[in-house]
Structure 1
């Protein structure tokens, strides 16, 4: 009986990783322990700070800064979480904010400065709506996944432990908030809180139509010591993630598995707007464009010391031209 190496993978409990978690897909030569019991911020911090796991889904923006600072990690071009972000910019309704440029000179909250949702939106606001990120006073709540020195002209303040950006937005102590999730005041229909973009879906579709970017939130981090000892793990895990995603997407085509009345219509709309595989892995042209844009924001905002390309950030997972598509003995 052949012996497999044992590796840990920490990630979200997603449909596209279910086949890996349940053992339906087994990476060649690897016995995988999949950990899905953590929230994103905990998982990112534990992997980037402590390297608690052999592999982990982790914040794309924090990973870029970690690489620039020489952390002993690399990444596979596997993107388990993507999300458009226009719908996660919240405003206090008493502050007279009706358009993006009204944020100039305001006080805007973030959970942390490196959170990828905020990082994407800072860049989008600057390049698509004329709101320079240095024109805003940023207020953060959590400690960062990776320590960094802010540029001298970047105005940031971190809150004490007993304060939250969500409460401060509702109370009017913040003018706006960029968040990675739906916030409680919005869910509870607090009249003091609204979205900056009321028709955010239309804005997101317009943004995709212009840029071709479906923002990548997370990458798949892997410890350097794993790659040094078992360099073949990168390709085998990449193949396993692709297989798991293919199984999941096939399953999700069936509208009977989801308790939503118009689920199939939403599925077909996604294909019409975003194409047949908007969740594609690998350094495809579209993924390269998204990753280069995000890394460009990191350099532009003074978070990294040198420009970084997608090839600087990811382990090669090629098997050679035309290899791997058809099994031959």
Structure 2
């Protein structure tokens, strides 16, 4: 998986980057760079590119789910995190039930079946952590019905995970009554039957943020470790491009920037992601935030947090 990069001059990077709200200007070429050119490899669903990224080292640069990155680091994959959030959201609304079959509240989940695309899906890790810390739900007491394996082939699902039959979907199983709740996230259709398990999820998410300072990121930027080691100038340029695109495309609203940049700005969120992932058995050991970066990426954006 070792890659070779020129020591100077412009580089072309094989890139995994969806049409995200915060990277529209970058991907459309409205932000110029004399140092970096991008060879975009598109997938209908960007997470389908995560396996080739972590298993084959296919990409030089791109976006990756934060939980997948934590697993990649734990199992020694040659990737390095940039302190740049590409996508984030408050996750409380992502778990729903079919209101036509009765009401399901957080306290009702233990002993029930809940569908989620994969046990290691980042949204699932966030939702299980929130349910445990804020609502007293033990994730080990829930049967998680999953449809895919982990992006990391080294990971084995825990015993309270069962695999759905081929051809089924979380939404389909929920509406047929085969599961009691489902994590749908961005796949949530506008269907009045689907109601949140967590009451008033928007208010609950904002309240949790005000209490903890945690923004639950989904995807962040990563680079191949050999690129970070050989071309720190390219890594710094990638950070600049991502930041400029974010500020153009998704400026802060009401004083809240949902896509923080810089290690210190996202430290509480990363600490929480690590804590949730380890508690749920998704990663084999705790990881310190500073381990997520190397000597180049750890310093990215630091000037923004220094006076003057």
Distance 1:136 1:102 in 2: 10
Residue aligning to 1:277: 257
Residue aligning to 1:200: 201
Q: Decide which of 150, 156, 160 is 1:149's aligned counterpart.
A: 156
Structure 1 segments of 4 or more deviating over 4 A?
319-325
Q: Secondary structure at the match of 1:233?
A: helix
For the 8 Å contact 2:57–2:224, the answer to whether it is kept is yes
Distance 2:270 2:52 in 1: 23
Residue aligning to 1:225: 226
**TM-score, normalising length from structure 1?**
0.82
Residue aligning to 1:291: 270
Q: How does 1:73-222 map to 2 (within 5 A)?
A: 73-93=79-99, 96-147=102-153, 148-151=155-158, 154-184=159-189, 187-189=190-192, 191=193, 193-222=194-223
For the 8 Å contact 1:7–1:54, the answer to whether it is kept is yes
Residue aligning to 1:263: none
Residue aligning to 1:256: none
For the 8 Å contact 2:170–2:183, the answer to whether it is kept is no
Displacement after TM superposition at 1:55 (Å): 1.0
Q: Secondary structure at the match of 1:220?
A: strand
Q: 1:22 to 1:93 in 2, by over 3 A?
A: closer
Pick which of 227-236 and 203-212 moved more. 227-236
**TM-score, normalising length from structure 2?**
0.87
Q: Which runs of 5+ in 1 are unaligned?
A: 251-266
Distance 1:324 1:211 in 2: 20
Pick which of 126-135 and 313-322 moved more. 313-322
Distance 1:320 1:20 in 2: 18
Displacement after TM superposition at 1:284 (Å): 2.1
Residue aligning to 1:306: 285
Q: Decide which of 60, 72, 77 is 1:54's aligned counterpart.
A: 60
Tell me how large the CA RMSD over aligned residues is. Answer: 2.5
Q: 1:126 to 1:67 in 2, by over 3 A?
A: same
Q: Secondary structure at the match of 1:163?
A: coil
Displacement after TM superposition at 1:182 (Å): 3.5
Q: Which runs of 5+ in 2 are unaligned?
A: 1-7
Determine whether 1:31 maps to 2:37: yes
Displacement after TM superposition at 1:199 (Å): 2.1
Pick which of 215-224 and 311-320 moved more. 311-320
Pick which of 61-70 and 34-43 moved more. 34-43
Displacement after TM superposition at 1:24 (Å): 2.9
Displacement after TM superposition at 1:43 (Å): 2.3
Displacement after TM superposition at 1:226 (Å): 1.9
